[in-house]
Structure 1
Amino acid sequence: MITDQSTRGGGSRELDRRVRVHAALADSTRLRITDHLAYGDASPTELQALLGIPSNLLAHHLGVLGEAGVVTRRRSEADRRRSYVRLLPDALDGLLPRNGTTVSRVVFVCTANSARSQLAAALWARVSAVPVASAGTHPAGRIAAGALEVAGRRGVALGQAQPLPFADVVRPDDYLVTVCDNAHEELHQTSSDLPSLAMGLHWSIPDPVRVATAAAFDAAFDELNQRVIHLAPHLTAV
């Protein structure tokens, strides 16, 4: 006799989770939200502008997605009144859009270009043939010691990398991934001055330099690695 394990113990809980996720996505607005968050983060203000709906309706949809375990929020490190909505890892396994995008180069951007963007570029180079670079809106004088240490512990080579200014690195056809709330919000505010720049995605990742502990750098490394692995198959070189 075949026993249906989906009705027992953990199988039942997983079935319940899947039912909640499918119910949450049974709405065109919520499906558009999840599609938009598939590979990057967005603030409620950005989602509201994208969808053209009032803030109370957006709050309702985000609440439904949050209760279903699909999205979560993280407070902006730049403007503490602002938050970013993120799709939870593995929440929509098998349900995300699979459309690929052709790009000439990926550029990871943070404020100082001394930790997150450098690590992201090094991680990207390990898994993708798409050219990669990194830059800072206000570059530091050198790579953060914690970034060099975590790279060494995890077997990632930063080589002779040095922080570089955004204006000296970024080209109009680059695909930008901001990994810093400050850089994202600064570029978002000045995007009208960069009409030909493809902004790409934002990843709201806490700054490990502020905390300056090995644990903080490990956490940033792990999140960057997870996101890079998730995005890389969906971007191909021109």
Structure 2
Amino acid sequence: MHAALGEPVRLAITDRLALGDASPGELSTQLGMPTNLLAHHLRVLEEAGLIHRGRSEGDRRRSYLRLALDDEQVARLTTPITTFDEASTERVVFVCTHNSARSQLAAAAWARVSPVPTASAGTHPAARVHPRAVQVGRRHGLHLDTTATAHLDQVVRTGDLIVAVCDNAHEELAEPADRLHWSVPNPAVVDTDAAFEEAYQQIAERVDRLAHAVRSA
């Protein structure tokens, strides 16, 4: 892992992925790097166990790269360098498709660890929060209002840091946009307590990293 991170380009890639996921195409554009050269560096990072690659739940032709944060060593080696100015980050708004699980859990987790205001929204909001999401929230001491879903047009405003916590929402939001993307699988597809718990654990870990980056500005 240390050898893989010893190359400046690969260090830049992991820094870009420290707070949010990205497709190879997005990385190529943001880093100004030819796709063939990027592919080489991504292969080295994957072989070193630093990143994972997953298929988009929306556009199945697209893949997203994320840090292997389930590995404690990776989490330690890839502490975010990028920070957000707390004075200019008025709110952190978490967005998913239905605003019924992932975005709700993310906003509730954020409220517990950061003084920066938060909200959640959906691109196609459901009528209510998913019962399993409510159960997971209660298990972790969070409160989710079962009927409090909203469309992003009703919520998002200038100054918000938007975090898309699902692939469909990320791909549906207009480009270009200053936001983060967390490729968290939709637990409602499996619809088990374990799936919702796994989604929450992924979200909570990422919330902690992002909250630290905002506080550190």
Verify same fold: TM over 0.5.
yes
Using the alignment, how far apart are the partners of 1:121 and 1:52 within structure 2? 33
2:200 aligned with 1:221, yes or no? yes
2:164 aligned with 1:185, yes or no? no
The one-character-per-residue Cα deviations of 1:130-173 (angstroms, maximum 9, x if unpaired) are 10000101111111111112112222111465110111100121
Correspondence for 2:16 = 36
- The match for 1:175 among 161, 176, 179 is 161
How many percent of aligned residue pairs carry the same amino acid? 55
Correspondence for 1:17 = none
2:79 aligned with 1:96, yes or no? yes
1:98 deviates by: 3.7
Asked if the contact 1:107–1:174 (Cα under 8 Å) also holds between the matched residues in 2, the reply is yes
| Secondary structure at the counterpart of residue 162 of structure 2 | strand
Asked if the contact 1:177–1:201 (Cα under 8 Å) also holds between the matched residues in 2, the reply is yes
Structure 1 consecutive aligned stretches of length 4 or more whose deviation exceeds 6 Å: none
1:81 deviates by: 1.1
Give runs of aligned pairs for residues 1-238 of structure 1, distance below 5 A: 21-89=1-69, 90=72, 91-102=74-85, 103-159=89-145, 162-187=148-173, 190-191=174-175, 199-236=178-215
Query: Which amino acid letter does the alignment assign opposite residue 153 of structure 1?
Result: R
Asked if the contact 1:70–1:92 (Cα under 8 Å) also holds between the matched residues in 2, the reply is no
Q: Tell me which structure has the larger Cα radius of gyration.
A: 1
Using the alignment, how far apart are the partners of 1:95 and 1:122 within structure 2? 25
Once structures 1 and 2 are overlaid, which stretch shifts more, 207-216 or 85-94? 85-94
1:99 deviates by: 4.5
1:88 deviates by: 1.4
The alignment of Structure 1 onto Structure 2 pairs a total of residues equal to 211
The one-character-per-residue Cα deviations of 1:52-75 (angstroms, maximum 9, x if unpaired) are 222221111001011111111111
Query: Which amino acid letter does the alignment assign opposite residue 163 of structure 1?
Result: T
TM-score normalised by length of structure 1 = 0.83
Using the alignment, how far apart are the partners of 1:67 and 1:51 within structure 2? 21
Asked if the contact 2:19–2:206 (Cα under 8 Å) also holds between the matched residues in 1, the reply is yes
**Runs (5+) with no aligned partner, structure 1:** 1-20, 193-197
Query: Which amino acid letter does the alignment assign opposite residue 96 of structure 2?
Result: C
Using the alignment, how far apart are the partners of 1:47 and 1:100 within structure 2? 19
1:191 deviates by: 2.4
